[in-house]
Amino acid sequence: MASKVYCRVFQAVMKLGNCFMGYRTPELVTAGPGSIKELPAIIRRKGVDNVLLVTDGGLVNLGVPDGLIKAMETEGLRYTVFSDIQPNPTDLNVEAGLRSYKENNCQGIIAFGGGSPMDCAKGIAARLARPNKTVPQLQGILKVHKKIVPFWAVPTTAGTGSETTVAAVITEASTHHKASINDPSILPKYAVLDPELTKGLPPFITATTGMDALCHAVEAYTNHTYNTKVEDTMAKDAVKLIHDWLYKAYLDGNDLEAREKMQYAAFYAGRAFTRGCVGYVHAVGHTLGGLYGVAHGLAMSVILPHVMKQFGPAVYDRLSDLADVCGMEGKDNKEKAEKFIEWLDDMKKKTGLPAGFDIIKQEDYDQIYRWADAESNPLYPVPVIWQREDFYKLLDTLRTAQ
């Protein structure tokens, strides 16, 4: 357990170090409905003739990559589909993808899907750059630090923002420990935002992945130590877009405008937290993904309001800014912050999500605390630094929330 003073000193040094990091925003090589069909020609123009298409089995069964595959065939771009990836991808998935890449002499990667295939693809790219290190050895900060193979990210959920982040979240299969590779080298250079690809997302996944994007924006904005104006603006823009469009996308999956706005929201929120960092919602949520297989977006949707409530007055000012962005009124910052948290709770109810998680076992508290503490302290510049008892308090709240 790191002391509060140590955490704040580390963060002050990290803030300076951040000035030398290559936080870029990926180039949107093409965007808009149907734009995915243009990608193969763009890839060929980069001199790449053979790619690994990293996606997941569910997407293949639904035919979501079919348009891209047809366009690759028309363009003469050779490809191998690798889709043996589970939600909350594991190091074993990464190793299998790595073998497929090598066996098929690929020259680049298309990461096509939600955060799970995109992160697995980033893991494969990291392993190719650092063949002598395992996934667990690459987890942490700045362990890749080497140029990766040509990489195009194509999100099909509007949530993780992995297409614009430095992170790849991978679970170690043998221990269930879910942790991130964090390195600017795996931040994709190119991305495609085609809202047509997200039209088939069922309402539950639309809601939970959208709440994940919201969580990125809210955690990045309430952290604020590492942020520049860019991250603050992106976080606020993302919150506004999600406030105005997520519920519409949830109610009508074919509302292409809502789908498009949500894609941009996820993109901005991802870019905001890639420098600003996430916080305890993610740190605890990752452990629930690793231990109990809880889907990431669901964990985020459920935990977010509880963490904001537990932070209390420390987040009133920042949350009141977000309330302003959404047009919520209140007599002071406290009241506005409470209105914002009420809206988070309301979104959970309206989209049929639970208030808490009764699957959390008391005997796992120590493990959850250790993993969440190791992920977040001292790296995440959270508004209040938590000790063991604060994590336990959150877990109690989550277990009993109705």
Rounded Cα distance between 275 and 234, Å, is 11
237 near ligand NAD, rule: CB under 6 A: no
Q: Give the nearer residue to ligand NAD in terms of CB position, either 287 or 320.
A: 287
CB of 102 to ligand NAD, least distance (A): 23
Residue-wise DSSP of 372-384? HHHHHTTTS--SS
Cα 141 to Cα 91, 170, 172: the distances in Å are 17, 14, 17
301 binds, among ligand NAD, Fe ion, none (CB under 5 to 8 A by kind): none
- Kindly give, in sequence order, each residue whose CB lies less than 8 Å from that of residue 58, ignoring residues fewer than 6 positions away: none
Among 11, 88, 301, 320, binds ligand NAD (CB under 6 A): 88
299 near ligand NAD, rule: CB under 6 A: no
**Alpha carbon of residue 175 to chain centroid:** 22
Q: Give the nearer residue to ligand NAD in terms of CB position, either 162 or 320.
A: 162
CB of 67 to ligand NAD, least distance (A): 12
Q: Are 59 and 65 in contact (CB under 8 A)?
A: yes
Rounded Cα distance between 332 and 93, Å, is 50
Sequence letter at residue 155: P
Rounded Cα distance between 43 and 249, Å, is 31
CB of 216 to ligand NAD, least distance (A): 7
CB of 150 to ligand NAD, least distance (A): 19
Q: Give the nearer residue to Fe ion in terms of CB position, either 40 or 297.
A: 297
87 near ligand NAD, rule: CB under 6 A: yes
Binders of ligand NAD in range 360-399 (CB under 6 A): none
Question: Which residue's structure tokens are 């079919």?
Answer: 66
64 near ligand NAD, rule: CB under 6 A: yes
Rounded Cα distance between 150 and 46, Å, is 9
Q: Give the binding site for ligand NAD (CB under 6 A).
A: 56, 58-59, 62, 64, 87-88, 113-116, 119, 156-157, 159-162, 165, 167-169, 197-198, 200-201, 205, 209, 212, 289, 296-297
